[in-house]
Structure 1
Amino acid sequence: SGKGGTGKTTLTSVLARALSGNAVLCDADVDVPDLWILLKPRVQAEEQFTGGDKAALHRPACDDCGLCVPVCRFGALSSENGRVILDRSRCEGCGACTLLCPRGAFSLSPAVQGRIYGSETDFGPFWHARLVPGGENSGRLVQILRERAKASALEQGKSWILVDGPPGIACPAISAMTGCSIALAVTEPSKSGLHDLKRLGELAKRFRVPMAVVLNRSDLSAEGARAVRQACREAGWPLLAEIPFLVGVVEDLARARIPEAIPPETVRRVLEGIDGLVVRR
């Protein structure tokens, strides 16, 4: 979907439970990760994710002359009580300060953009991460997570890798989808849901990834549901399941629990549909 809240993470958690013991899990929504809330991971390994150079200010080389302050277009440099202050979170790594400073007090170095976590859950290994606010290279971070998940699957003999993708069609979504066996789109019966579904379908087609669809909260709009079904027929996207609005799902999510209200036969139909499409491919 192009926005949060359609049910991607919810469905991923339900599928993870159904595949318990035979899947590696991966949260590719590195800007706003939330699959961990439902999976309750036990972190086994943690490391920094660096990428994108930012300025570093070195003392005592800096004599606080202030020549650099008006040159920084991004407001990362300021002068307070005659002392030059660098706010690295605002630095865009343009390097102007390194060129201007007569004393060579600035350099560019990779900045910490987030953290990577390797965890265990009750349902299998789990790779996840979190970007710092405004962090860069989200696509690369997703790629790293997928590489780690694949390595875990090969090492432990898991048949499935479930990737909880981010919303939209930007770099993280492209990185999450590229090379996958299948993309499972979760949509809702609304005009925005249909619009985002079509955009995602175009992206999947571009990268030659087959796509199937789950229509969540299907009973909220009869007209919207018909429009989604028609779009699936016209594009050739298998509609694997329609899940109505279920109060039990909302109640479980409010308690940070994997929902129990989605019928097991619906979950089984989704997994069998995915398996069938992958085999035919």
Structure 2
Amino acid sequence: MKQITVVSGKGGTGKTSILASLAAISRGRAVIADCDVDAPDLHLILKPQVREKREFSGMKMAVIDPSRCNSCGSCEEHCRFGAAMSQKIDPLLCEGCGVCSLVCPADAVSMEERLSGYAFISDTRFGPLVHAQLFPGEEASGKLVTMVREISREVADYHDLELILIDGSPGIGCPVIASLTGSDLALVVTEPTISGAHDLDRILGLVSHFGIEPLVCINKFDLNPELALSIEERSMDWGAKIVGRIPFDPLVVEAMVAGMAVVEMEGQVADAIVDMAEMISSQL
């Protein structure tokens, strides 16, 4: 089973649009995993029909047993987040650190699991999709990403599919690390801007750290050809192969508005993505 993770050092580079097109090209031969659980939007294009929902428990929350609490105030004194009050815990402020349970002399505080979101298994016109919803303000999105990836492997085994396409989070944080680890290829999507070039170095450094083969796609490369050439040189310094040079085209916006993958509409961008998909396939 092969796993390709599409990532970007910054948001807004076109990562999800490209992943949706790769899913369309796969024609149902891959499991699609949306691991951008903090701000998922792949469903806007794939229009999934949910057929299974699983609960996700992230950080634990402190709960006070009023029958055992003697109102000594120790928990309130030591809570750095202001969550502990007289015989109760504010669930919106509790960070699940557990210090209140450690300092309570009456052993009245326990750490309990709380529902933090859901993971879904859905059907789409491009094949099975595993995606998730993290409740606002909840933590441990990296754990939810891991859950999505584990379910994706289950779905791939069940349907006898040999490829998983993963839409990772932007940046280099915990959710991105959880999206990348164990992948066979990392497709890094960047753009010819100063911030794009800067964040490309950060994400290629992360990919290199985990020993994953990096591939680079420069989206809207023709908006700044000089900087795009510099990005190609930076990528080669990291040992990354340029597999895609996607031109700027208003067709991309039209596809987004229509809720379609770019390759479902004819144009130079669609042709460039198809060519890129062939190069990625040859790397596998």
1:86 CA displacement: 2.0
**CA, structure 1 residues 29+222, in 2 after alignment: closer, same or farther (shift >3 Å)?**
same
Given the alignment, which residue of 24, 45, 52 partners 1:45?
52
Q: Which residue of 1 aligns with 2:4?
A: none
> Where do 5+ consecutive residues of structure 1 fail to align?
none
How do residues 252-267 of structure 1 correspond to structure 2 at under 5 angstroms? 252-259=255-262, 260=265, 261=267, 263-267=269-273
Asked if the contact 2:74–2:104 (Cα under 8 Å) also holds between the matched residues in 1, the reply is yes
Give the TM-score, by structure 1 length: 0.89
Q: Which residue of 1 aligns with 2:81?
A: 74
How do residues 129-208 of structure 1 correspond to structure 2 at under 5 angstroms? 129-208=132-211
Alpha-carbon displacement from aligned partner over 1:90-132 (angstroms, at most 9, x marks no partner): 2122333334545543211123222111111111111111222
Q: Which residue of 2 aligns with 1:275?
A: 281
**CA, structure 1 residues 94+206, in 2 after alignment: closer, same or farther (shift >3 Å)?**
closer
C-alpha RMSD of matched pairs (Å)? 2.1
Give the TM-score, by structure 2 length: 0.88
Partners in 2 of 1:277 and 1:12 — Cα distance?
A: 17
Is 2:17 the counterpart of 1:10?
yes
Asked if the contact 1:48–1:114 (Cα under 8 Å) also holds between the matched residues in 2, the reply is yes
Asked if the contact 2:247–2:269 (Cα under 8 Å) also holds between the matched residues in 1, the reply is no
Is 2:119 the counterpart of 1:112?
no
Amino acid at match of 1:267: I
1:273 CA displacement: 1.0
How do residues 46-65 of structure 1 correspond to structure 2 at under 5 angstroms? 46-62=53-69
Asked if the contact 2:63–2:88 (Cα under 8 Å) also holds between the matched residues in 1, the reply is no
Percent identical across equivalent pairs? 40
Given the alignment, which residue of 214, 217, 221 partners 2:217?
214
How do residues 226-245 of structure 1 correspond to structure 2 at under 5 angstroms? 226-245=229-248
Partners in 2 of 1:60 and 1:254 — Cα distance?
A: 56
Amino acid at match of 1:168: G
> Where do 5+ consecutive residues of structure 2 fail to align?
1-7
Alpha-carbon displacement from aligned partner over 1:139-158 (angstroms, at most 9, x marks no partner): 22212211211221122122
**CA, structure 1 residues 147+99, in 2 after alignment: closer, same or farther (shift >3 Å)?**
closer
Is 2:251 the counterpart of 1:248?
yes
Q: How many residues align?
A: 274
Partners in 2 of 1:130 and 1:22 — Cα distance?
A: 25
Which shifted more, 149-158 or 19-28? 149-158
Which shifted more, 100-109 or 152-161? 100-109
Amino acid at match of 1:271: A
